[in-house]
Amino acid sequence: MIVDDEVAQMRALCNTLKDHGYNTIGFASAKAALVELQKTECDLLLSDLMMPEMNGIQLLQAALQHNPRLISIIMTGEGTITTAVDAMKSGALDYILKPFKLSVILPVIERALAVRRLRLENEALERQVKERTTQLEAANQELESFCYSVSHDLRAPLRHIDGFTNLILQSETALTEKGRHHLDLVSAAAKRMAQLINDLLELSRNSRAEMRRVRVNLQKLVDEIIQRLQPEMEGRNISWKKNELPEVQADPDLLQQVFSNLLLNAIKYTRPRNPAEIEIGCRQDSANEVTIYVRDNGAGFDMKYVDKLFGVFQRLHRDEEFEGTGIGLANVRRIVARHGGRTWAEGKVNEGATFYFTLPI
């Protein structure tokens, strides 16, 4: 829409822009233009600044109340900085000086319409984000309900199975050696199932828990975890090598789980070694992140299966060799990823393994 009380100039501009592929409508009256703007949605308003009924700024302010998406350019013959600033403050995207050349006005119009397209695309994206957010919130609520069902409805029968199995085993009921063995297997299976449920719930919680980033002293965190893992090391000959670790910005509770899983694995898979050797250290490969590693001289693994290591329920050793549910490393990867880091591992069968993860500085 072109609004200019100089009729000849308004018509000339309308016709010229039509020749360059634009659909135009023109008005010599600002009030008439405003009435039309309430009926017709325009992409761009090109308005003269000084007009008798209302000036271009007043027209723009009234038009924006009806259509906030409207893009406008003010035409002025005064050419002062004050005029331009006033027009911009009122919501105009740009201004052009009269008398103007076509080589000047066409790029300004093209840029204004490009800005409008970007704004409309942003609005569409914001709507999509809002819709997705609503969907995610609904999915999270369903997941919460499912987790509650798993923790309550599945744990109860497992407790009954394990409880009644132990009652039979402890009673004076005559059982054959084979029958007692079978009941032991039932009890062990129930306990394993309960552990799987606990680990899955932990994995789910860690994926959804709100992160609380604070300054974390990794040296202190590792010392506390090793202290807590003392019962797992009873009767073991373990040589610890703790290199200097930095402070990072992270969630301390989630990081605690990362180190607990990795150190517990190192303790477990070095069980056949005497002495077992476990090293914790770090290196800084870039200015943006630090690489932490946990190295051991334990059972190790075949590198051709390295892609399976961090998957849920993926295990490279039999239960008879080393106990576990195959969820710990999946948990590690998920937590580190939430911090913006990466995880990987290196190993060799019977020669130990090294687990790495990065954290942003």
Residue 259 burial (C-beta neighbours within 10 Å; 0-12, 13-18, 19+): buried
What pLDDT is stored for residue 344 in this prediction?
93
**Contact yes or no for 260/246 (Cβ under 8 A):** no
| Per-residue pLDDT tens over the stretch 245-266 | 988 989 888 898 899 989 998 9
Q: Model confidence at 208, in pLDDT bands (50, 70, 90)? A: low
Within 10 Å of residue 205's Cβ, how many Cβ atoms?
Answer: 12
| Per-residue pLDDT tens over the stretch 16-30 | 999 999 999 999 999
What pLDDT is stored for residue 23 in this prediction?
93
* Chain centroid, CA 121 distance in Å: 22
Q: What is the mean pLDDT of residues 55-80?
A: 83
Q: Model confidence at 326, in pLDDT bands (50, 70, 90)? A: low
* Nearest one of 312, 310, 316 to 268, comparing CA atoms: 316
Greater pLDDT, 143 or 53: 53
| Per-residue pLDDT tens over the stretch 139-150 | 767 766 776 676
What pLDDT is stored for residue 280 in this prediction?
95
What pLDDT is stored for residue 136 in this prediction?
81
Task: For the chain, state the CA radius of gyration.
Answer: 35
Print the SS3 string covering the chain: CEECCCHHHHHHHHHHHHHCCCCCCEECCHHHHHHHHCCCCCCEEEEECCCCCCCHHHHHHHHHHHCCCCEEEEEECCCCHHHHHHHHHCCCCEEEECCCCHHHHHHHHHHHHHHHHHHHHHHHHHHHHHHHHHHHHHHHHHHHHHHHHHHHHHHHHHHHHHHHHHHHHHCCCCCCHHHHHHHHHHHHHHHHHHHHHHHHHHHHHHHHCCCCCEEEEHHHHHHHHHHHCHHHHCCCCEEEEECCCCEEEECHHHHHHHHHHHHHHHHHHCCCCCCEEEEEEEECCCCCEEEEEEEECCCCCCHHHHHHCCCCCCCCCCCCCCCCCCCHHHHHHHHHHHCCCCEEEEECCCCCEEEEEEEEC
Whether residue 2 is predicted with pLDDT greater than 90 in this model: the reply is yes
Residue 137 burial (C-beta neighbours within 10 Å; 0-12, 13-18, 19+): exposed
What pLDDT is stored for residue 142 in this prediction?
73
What pLDDT is stored for residue 207 in this prediction?
63
Q: Model confidence at 194, in pLDDT bands (50, 70, 90)? A: confident
**Contact yes or no for 116/123 (Cβ under 8 A):** no
What pLDDT is stored for residue 91 in this prediction?
82
- Please report, rounded to a whole number, the percentage of residues in the chain having pLDDT higher than 70: 89
What pLDDT is stored for residue 203 in this prediction?
65
| Per-residue pLDDT tens over the stretch 289-312 | 899 999 999 988 888 888 888 876
Weakest-pLDDT range from 25-29, 183-187, 192-196, 244-248:
192-196
What pLDDT is stored for residue 315 in this prediction?
58
